[in-house]
Chain A
Amino acid sequence: MKIAVCLKRVPDTTAKIVVGGDGKSIDEAGVKFVPNPYDEYAIEEALALKEKAGEGETVVYSLGGESSQETIRTALAMGIDRGVLLQSEGSPDGLVVAKAFAEAMADEGFDVILFGKLAVDDYNHQVGPMTAELLGLPCVTTVAHLSVEDGAVTAEREIEGGVEVSTCRLPAVLTCDKGLNEPRLPKLKGIMAAKKKPLDVKPVELAAGSIEVLGLELPPARSEGKIVGEGADAVPELINLLRNEAKVL
Chain B
Amino acid sequence: MANIIAVLEQRDGALRKVSYETVTAARLLADTMGATVDALVLGAGPVSGVDQVAIYGADRVLTADHQSFGLYQPDGYAATVASAAEGCSAIIFGATATGKDLAPRVAAKLGVGYAAEITGCTVDGDHLVATRPVYGGKALQKIRLTGSPAVLSVRPNTVPLAESPKEGAVESVAVPDFETRVTVTEVKAPAGAALDVAEATIVVAGGRGLKESENFKLIEELAAAFGDAAVGSSRAVVDAGWQDHSTQVGQTGKTVSPNLYVAVGISGAIQHLAGMRTAKTIVAINKDADAPIFKVADYGIVGDLFEVLPRLTEEVRKAKAEG
Residues in A neighbouring B145, C-beta threshold 8 A:
210-211
Contact of A228 with B301 at beta-carbon distance under 8 Å, contacts A212-B144, A219-B138, A248-B259 already known: yes
The reply to whether B183 and A248 contact each other, CB–CB distance below 8 Å, is no
On chain B, the residues within 8 Å of A95 by CB distance are 107-108, 111-114
Q: How far apart are the CA atoms of A239 and B283 in the complex, in Å? A: 11
B contact face: mostly helix, strand, loop, or mixed: mixed
By CB atoms of chain B within 10 A, which of A125, A137, A223 has the most?
A: A125
Closest to A159 in B: B97
- Inter-chain contact A216/B134, CB cutoff 8 Å: yes
On whether the beta carbons of B104 and A126 are closer than 8 Å, the reply is: yes
A contacts with B, residue count (CB < 8 A): 81
Q: With A162-B187, A166-B182 given, is the CB distance from A129 to B104 under 8 Å?
A: yes
C-alpha spacing A218/B134, complex, angstroms: 10
* Cα A161 to Cα B19 with chains together (Å): 16
Residue B199 interfacial (CB < 8 Å): yes
Contact check, B301 vs A242: say whether CB atoms are below 8 A apart.
Answer: no
For chain B residues 161-193, which have a beta carbon within 8 Å of chain A? Answer: 181-190, 193
The answer to the question of A73 belonging to the interface, with a C-beta cut-off of 8 Å to chain B, is no
Instruction: Add 17 more A-B contacts to A13-B251, A211-B145, A217-B142 (CB < 8 A).
Output: A13-B271, A17-B138, A37-B251, A123-B132, A128-B104, A129-B105, A139-B182, A158-B245, A161-B196, A165-B184, A168-B183, A211-B113, A222-B298, A225-B294, A238-B283, A238-B315, A239-B319
Which A residues form the contact surface with B (CB < 8 A)?
11, 13-14, 17, 19, 26, 37, 93-96, 98, 120-130, 132-134, 137-142, 144, 156-168, 172, 178-179, 209-219, 222-223, 225-232, 234-236, 238-239, 241-243, 246, 248-249
- Please, could you name 18 A-B residue pairs with CB atoms under 8 Å apart, sorted by A? A17-B135, A37-B252, A132-B105, A139-B74, A139-B182, A160-B16, A162-B188, A165-B185, A217-B140, A218-B139, A219-B277, A223-B298, A225-B297, A229-B302, A230-B301, A230-B303, A238-B315, A242-B299
Interface residues of B (CB under 8 A from A): 16, 71-72, 74-75, 78, 96-98, 100-101, 103-105, 107-109, 111-117, 129, 132-147, 181-190, 193-196, 198-199, 202, 245-246, 251-253, 259-260, 270-271, 274, 277-278, 280-284, 289, 294-304, 307-308, 310-312, 315-316, 319-320
